[in-house]
Structure 1
Amino acid sequence: MTTDSPPQFDLVEQPWLPCTMLDGSVTELSLGEVFERSRQIRRISGELPTQDYALLRVLLVIFWRAHRDDPGLVGPGADVDEWWEDAFDAAGGETQVQRIRAYLEQWRHRFDLFDAAAPFMQVADLHTKKGEHGGVRRLLTDAESDYLSVRAGVSFDALGFAEAARWLVHVQAWDYSGIKSGAEGDPRVKGGKGYPIGTGWVGSTGGVVLHGRTLAETLVLNTAPHAVIAEREEEDLPAWEQEPHNAAPRGVEFPTGPCDVLTWQSRRVRLFPDDDRVTGVLVSNGDRIETKNQFADPMTAYRYSRNQSSKARTVHMPQQHDAARTLWRGLTPLLVREGVLQEAPRELQPKPPATIAWLHTVRHDRALPQDHLVGVELVGMVYGTQSSSVADTVHETLTVRLGTLMSKDSRTAKAIVDAGRATTEAAVDLGRYAGRLLQATGGEYAFQPHRTEGILHRLDAPFKDWLSEIDENSDPVVQRGRWFGLVERVVLEEAAVLQKGAGPKAVVGRMVQDAKGRPHLISSATAEGALRADLRQHLPGEPLPDATAATDTPTEGEDQ
């Protein structure tokens, strides 16, 4: 039975954040406990990687706001490099915990999930003209479609308060576009419907997280100091420091800074509790966000958009992850800097996430642990037609050394970017080779994309191992050459397997005509010769040049 007064669920004191501890155990902790025990926590571990990312962003904003008046960042004698290095050395220490504890106490009234006036990330009296709302399934990205759900056998009728809080944060970050319930008080509603304003902000980005050995280190690694000392610091407020929202949009589409964008309320939401469970939810349109030249988010890269740029205005858009080749195509925007890429005509370089760009600039006034292993996590969402449904999630992890990310020598970053690009090209070469074998056995030439994807999958783990071994003392020419040699060997091994499977017909081959009508023999031998020539071109042994052209467009011939 529904009670007359709403229940209370204090996110500062009540456990709701699933955490994997250093000993491998998983436990739910409150906001206060997460920060107090951050040295004992490996990472946030919710139901989905996209949920973990959304929750971590809330923790980061709390961390930033708690340090907004730190003397090391503001006032006479402030030194951001020294502040960051001190914060990394003392990650999770008592001084940081005290600041965060004081901040959470100051804003505790805004972290109640069912506060009568300003419930956390919700609108207290949100309602439709007919007073209708939906079931909790509306919050669950992996449950709205029975075909995508991993929750078989689990009831969709109600959620515990802790789980509801996690999915509330998730829906604000990642919710799909499409028609929403029309909330009373929203002037945009027509005929009881809220028409599409786009996905949640995070859904238009490619999330990048730097993971340390503990959550305490992770918080610092994902802190570019400008996130704490934004130019308009007093205006850059997270959702819980702003005036409580109502059904109407705020009337702003550009965030004032990182704290604003990381907690951007793309939806107006209201949870409906019944005793100790949430049994209903209303999700309506919130604040639309402009995606062009919106650089406030420090956890995504930005790509140059030639189609949307003009002579009068250069436009960059958030760089989303490629679902098919997340690892291989995701390297360039992470490591780009001067000397790594030579932009193609009419193109501008992508902008790396501000968190990584910051590491490129940190002074080495003291000996930071350059061989420290840092996990890089890529998180994204793939939407369906007109972004009105969720089709899939994107998730990839790799490990690099802190010294690689902080290196002032662009040749190391270039060697890594070259390795990823060349590996993709070599995989495409194998797809072409398979198409030529098909032609040699009597069929028509057709590029074989599954051979390309298969070899990339096979090279995934070895590449991650190779990447984790590179440090600031590595010779980039030697390292790149070592990787190219492995790629060539693996591709040729796979080619030999394909050649054997093609049988005697491919060995004999047949005469075919090229594009100009000239006859030539196509056989397993000529196909192998072409493959080896392609590999020599794409896996060169010469020293690294100063710059190299790179693009995320398909390699020529891939779609022949």
Structure 2
Amino acid sequence: MGVRDALVHADLLEGLTVTDPLEGVAVLRQVLLPVVIDAVGAPRDRAEWARRFEQGRFDGEDVQRIVDYLDAQAAAFDLFDPLRPFAQVAGLRTAKGETKPVSLLIPRLASGNNVPLFSARTESDPPALTPGAAARALLAAHCWDTAAIKSGAVDDPLVKAGKTTGNPTGPLGQLGVVVPMGATLFQTLMLNMMIMPQGVYPVDRPQWRGEQAAGPRWRERGPLGRLDLLTWQSRRLRLIPEADASVPGGVVVRRVVLCAGDRLRGSVQDLEPHTAWRQVERPKADDPPARPVRHQPGRAAWRGLAGLLATAGPTGDRVSAPAVMEQLAGLQVEGRVPEDLPLRVLTVGVRYGTQSAVVEDVMVDEIPLPVVALAADSRVREVVLAVAEGAEALRIAANRLGDDLRAACGAEKVPWDRGQRLGDLLIHRFTPVVRRLLAGLQRQPDAVEQAEDAWLLVARRLAWEVADPVLSAAGPNTFLGRAPDQRFGPRLSVAEASFRRALNDILGPASPRTAPATGSTAA
């Protein structure tokens, strides 16, 4: 489906279906949102935003504006235009005429130093991408490409020895991207549509409406506005089409030229809508006041609820919610979005390897989120945050239990970055429970007390399901411990008593229903 049909029928589509979430975020940010903002205009206030959202679709006037806009810009969206190809540089080449496999644009495929552990292809066997797939990979590269050395382009005055060094990652590679999503593509577009009281800056425009075609020269500069930031050209690229009669359309892309592109200068906190920010405690003269919060590998999105819901001010560790979440919170407080909105939050991030020159991991998660939890005085918010805080405290308690049992038999603690600890196992078991709790509160926010009671019951049961096997399997030497003369030295009974006390502190005193079902060592 093309851009025109996707936007015109946005109310009939559930969303974007892509095999690579990096490409999905790139399509939303680099094409769909900028087209709507540039063609229709951004809402000037909450009332205008709510009016559009309540329609559930683009009205006839907005549809006509989108269609007219895309008709006028049709040439700029030609992927293989010889003079001005979309998001590329016409005639881009290196001094030696070198090209790279198109897999360079796709982190999950082997290319150069980026060799995934399990890859169906080698660098010498790049895929043959259809024009649509090549366009998505192209957009993702502008957002997430690796850093370090890039091929030097002819006519780039900053090239040295055929290379350009010091390249940062794509701009989204430094962020923990947070994207709110609704029941339809239209709702998703509106949830990510920032209100602009002053409208779009006169100098601001998407990359395809630049005054002149992009060339091999690049600059370090600040963005001209939100449209410029969303369509930032962080690389100079050229896709190389090949004729292939065996595929629909008869054209594929197997090779690409990739060189250095524009570098962002200064802080973009005022313009960037899709990441949380952490205030710098003691910034130096040249430091920005806040830095983007990045997602942590192996950490489920629900564990970051405190940051997602920090819409009324920074959390204790100085984290503020993404701008799209702050805006949605303001709209919810004013009653401009329904309380049963099926809101989902997509989180996407990349972990880079050596000098950010390789992609080591792509973190993707999606959670349901009750809209009423965004309100500062909401009981749902209170319970949701208590669940996240309690789960983290239980993780620490389970880790401490494991450390105490190892100490009882004279072993060293498990290093935090090695092996699997009890707390990690417990958090893994909590994830489906918390997802169900969030989904239930999304449908029935009035059932918050029942949800809290259910959490306390299930959390205690799961904690004992993790703890009881290790307590039961503890060796005989842990009964007295390695220091039997010490009254409270490390031993099995002390470890279990400490764990019980932690459970009661976190979840409240145990009732007959929430007590452990199996036996334990302490009386």
State the TM-score, normalizing by the size of structure 1. 0.81
Does residue 409 in structure 1 map to residue 377 in structure 2? yes
Task: Identify the residue that residue 262 of structure 2 maps to in structure 1.
Answer: 287
- Are 1:81 and 1:363, in contact at CA under 8 Å, matched by a contact in 2? no
Of 353, 364, 379 in structure 1, the residue corresponding to residue 322 of structure 2 is 353
Does residue 168 in structure 1 map to residue 138 in structure 2? yes
Change (3 A) 1:366 1:511: closer
| Residue correspondences, number | 491
Change (3 A) 1:53 1:432: same
Task: Identify the residue that residue 264 of structure 1 maps to in structure 2.
Answer: 232
Does residue 451 in structure 1 map to residue 422 in structure 2? yes
Change (3 A) 1:305 1:153: same
- Are 2:481 and 2:489, in contact at CA under 8 Å, matched by a contact in 1? yes
Task: Identify the residue that residue 13 of structure 2 maps to in structure 1.
Answer: 41
Change (3 A) 1:199 1:146: closer
Task: Identify the residue that residue 194 of structure 2 maps to in structure 1.
Answer: 224
Task: Note the 1:124-273 alignment, pairs <5 A.
Answer: 124-143=90-109, 144=111, 145-148=114-117, 151=120, 155-226=125-196, 233-243=201-211, 244-252=213-221, 254-273=222-241
2:176 and 2:286 map into 1 onto residues whose CA distance is 27
Letter in 2 for 1:225: I
Change (3 A) 1:149 1:172: farther
Change (3 A) 1:212 1:380: same
Per-residue deviation, residues 215-244 of structure 1 (Å, max 9, x unmatched): 111111111212xx5665222211111132
Task: Identify the residue that residue 499 of structure 1 maps to in structure 2.
Answer: 471
Gaps of 5+ in 1: 1-28, 75-79, 542-560
1:164 and 1:149 map into 2 onto residues whose CA distance is 22
Does residue 98 in structure 1 map to residue 64 in structure 2? yes
State the TM-score, normalizing by the size of structure 2. 0.86
Tell me the CA shift for residue 251 of structure 1. Answer: 4.4
Letter in 2 for 1:464: R
Task: Identify the residue that residue 33 of structure 2 maps to in structure 1.
Answer: 60
Does residue 117 in structure 1 map to residue 117 in structure 2? no
Change (3 A) 1:153 1:199: closer
Per-residue deviation, residues 50-84 of structure 1 (Å, max 9, x unmatched): 1111112121111222222x7xx46xxxxx22221
Change (3 A) 1:126 1:408: same
Task: Note the 1:523-542 alignment, pairs <5 A.
Answer: 523-539=491-507
- Are 2:425 and 2:466, in contact at CA under 8 Å, matched by a contact in 1? no
1:66 and 1:82 map into 2 onto residues whose CA distance is 20
Of 282, 299, 305 in structure 1, the residue corresponding to residue 274 of structure 2 is 299
Shifted more, 436-445 versus 388-397: the winner is: 436-445
2:333 and 2:103 map into 1 onto residues whose CA distance is 50
Aligned residues: CA RMSD: 2.8
Does residue 336 in structure 1 map to residue 288 in structure 2? no
Tell me the CA shift for residue 458 of structure 1. Answer: 0.7
Shifted more, 447-456 versus 175-184: the winner is: 447-456
Per-residue deviation, residues 130-183 of structure 1 (Å, max 9, x unmatched): 222212222221112443455459951532212111100111110000100001
Change (3 A) 1:34 1:260: same
Letter in 2 for 1:83: E
Q: Secondary structure at the match of 2:167?
A: coil
Gaps of 5+ in 2: 244-250, 510-523
Per-residue deviation, residues 96-155 of structure 1 (Å, max 9, x unmatched): 322221221121111000112211100002111222221222222111244345545995
Change (3 A) 1:214 1:135: same
Task: Identify the residue that residue 516 of structure 2 maps to in structure 1.
Answer: none
2:176 and 2:266 map into 1 onto residues whose CA distance is 13
Change (3 A) 1:475 1:314: farther
Of 393, 406, 409 in structure 2, the residue corresponding to residue 441 of structure 1 is 409
Letter in 2 for 1:32: R
Task: Identify the residue that residue 458 of structure 2 maps to in structure 1.
Answer: 486
Of 216, 235, 253 in structure 2, the residue corresponding to residue 278 of structure 1 is 253
1:366 and 1:358 map into 2 onto residues whose CA distance is 13
